[in-house]
Structure 1
Amino acid sequence: MGAVMDVRRAAERYRGGEAQAGIESWHAFSFGPHYDPDNLRFGALIACNEERLAPGAGFDEHPHSHTEIVTWVVRGELTHRDSTGHESRVRPGDVQRLSSAAGVRHVERNDTDAPLTFVQTWLAPLRPGGTPAYEIVPGIADSTPYAVPEAGAMLHVRRLAAGERTAVPDGRYLYVHVVHGEVRLAEADLGPGDAARITDAKDLEAEATTQAELLIWELQG
């Protein structure tokens, strides 16, 4: 039957956060008070949030469980602290993963004097429970896949010059998020914050019309 692609525009995201506290959140899936029974998940992916924190703003300590949380900083620097004792600074090009497993608490803040923007993806694990884990991969190289085996998922980062093409992995479910720049994917033109949910992807290519950065999630059912 061929690939089926569902394009979701940045402007269609649910707006959340707390503006007076310096927090803006843009949700691609049903999230918190923005309940949409027809937009609960795509494959293992249950959230893809763009978070914008003003200098000094952040999320105070809060709990997570049974979720794989992967964070990608677009600009600025994110401070992370969690109840298992990890504390780190996450910068553009780093991949951070928090496996909340049976339960963990963490803090996310912008402790700098510059704005912070990051994209955070939540994935449902294949099996609930287990022991929380944390990992940060500094400066991940272009086209180097990052595996999240607990969710049966793989992240591919693509950084493209204008006019450059890249193959999109074949797969049952693919989620393509444009971090910045503009790309053409199949017959769709995508800009910053736009995403494509692709089912049964095969032999697809993305072409950058400007310098661009893509996050491509390869997901199980």
Structure 2
Amino acid sequence: MIRFRDRGARGRHQGGQIDAWHSFSFADYNDPKHMGFRALRVLNEDRVVPGAGLPEHGHEDMEIVTIVLKGAVEHRDDLGNSAIIGAGEVQRMSAGTGIRHSERNPGADERTHLLQIWIIPATFGGPPSYEQKAFADDDDRNRWITIASGDGRDGSLTLRQDAVMAIARLDEGVTIAREIDPDRGYWVQVIGGLIGLNGTEMREGDGAALTSETLLSIEADSEAEVLLIDLP
């Protein structure tokens, strides 16, 4: 079964500093029909004006992954980490027993475009931790690149959950297909471009939840970028 989530049906917060789309209930957007998908609790698409962001705030018991698509994010936390995450880089925070952090767009004239994903960990507690890594290689196209996983496979960031996150950057006309486990759940999010998912058209901002399926096939009808989250 495939359930599609139209980009225009998402919740939205449109302010002077941040324009955010929420695939699932978040902050002031509450939709009992869209509270998450398996261990995937939050999937936000944010655009942040220069100099703006979120002041210091706290989280507990959540795996928070930020994918910077354009611009940059300046990160600070109470673990002592201070970093700039640029386009093509991915950040992972394991909140564990508690972490406080701030995020802002350090640019002077470019809006930051990012995805933020929250994964519910397999077990609660544990010390908070932080990682970031670049996955932007323009020559590494037309295949799945693992960016986060429970076992850190292929040099990916490590999650405290049996989940795998991968990105594919596709040339127009390319099809990538893979067998999938019908007992697991899969979320597909179109980051950019136009694709066909098992024959159904999707475009930037669209999402889809796959359950009880055995094949995932994506055909790029233009240059495209796609996020896949494999969930227990």
| TM-score category of the 2 structures, normalised to the smaller one | over 0.9
* Aligned equivalent of 1:170: 180
SS at structure 1 position matched to 2:160 = helix
* Aligned equivalent of 2:13: 16
The amino acid of 1:115's aligned partner reads: R
Which aligned segments of 4 or more residues in structure 1 are displaced greater than 2 angstroms?
139-144
Q: Cα gap change, 1:169/1:138 in structure 2, threshold over 3 Å: closer, same or farther?
A: farther
Structure 2 distance, partners of 1:118, 1:34, is: 19
Q: Is the 8 A contact 1:170 1:200 kept in 2?
A: no
SS at structure 2 position matched to 1:127 = coil
* Aligned equivalent of 2:223: 211
1:184 aligns with 2:191: no
Superposed CA RMSD:
1.4
Structure 2 distance, partners of 1:155, 1:65, is: 21
Deviations for 1:72-99, whole angstroms, at most 9, x for unmatched residues? 1111111111111111111222121000
1:5 aligns with 2:6: no
Structure 2 distance, partners of 1:9, 1:139, is: 27
From 94, 97, 119, the equivalent of 2:92 is 97
* Structure 2: stretches of 5+ with no match in the other structure: 151-158
Give the CA deviation at 1:166. 1.1
Structure 1 distance, partners of 2:118, 2:196, is: 26
1:29 aligns with 2:24: yes
1:158 aligns with 2:168: yes
State the identity as a percent.
Answer: 35
Deviations for 1:142-187, whole angstroms, at most 9, x for unmatched residues? 5232214412110111010000011245131000111111100013
Deviations for 1:13-43, whole angstroms, at most 9, x for unmatched residues? 10125x13x1111100011222222211201
Structure 1 distance, partners of 2:125, 2:198, is: 39
Structure 2 distance, partners of 1:169, 1:106, is: 39
Q: Which structure ranks higher in relative contact order (CA pairs < 8 Å, sequence separation ≥ 6)?
A: 1
Matches within 5 A, 1:22-171: 22-113=17-108, 114-139=110-135, 142=140, 143-145=144-146, 146-148=148-150, 149-168=159-178, 170-171=180-181
Give the CA deviation at 1:123. 0.5
The amino acid of 2:193's aligned partner reads: G
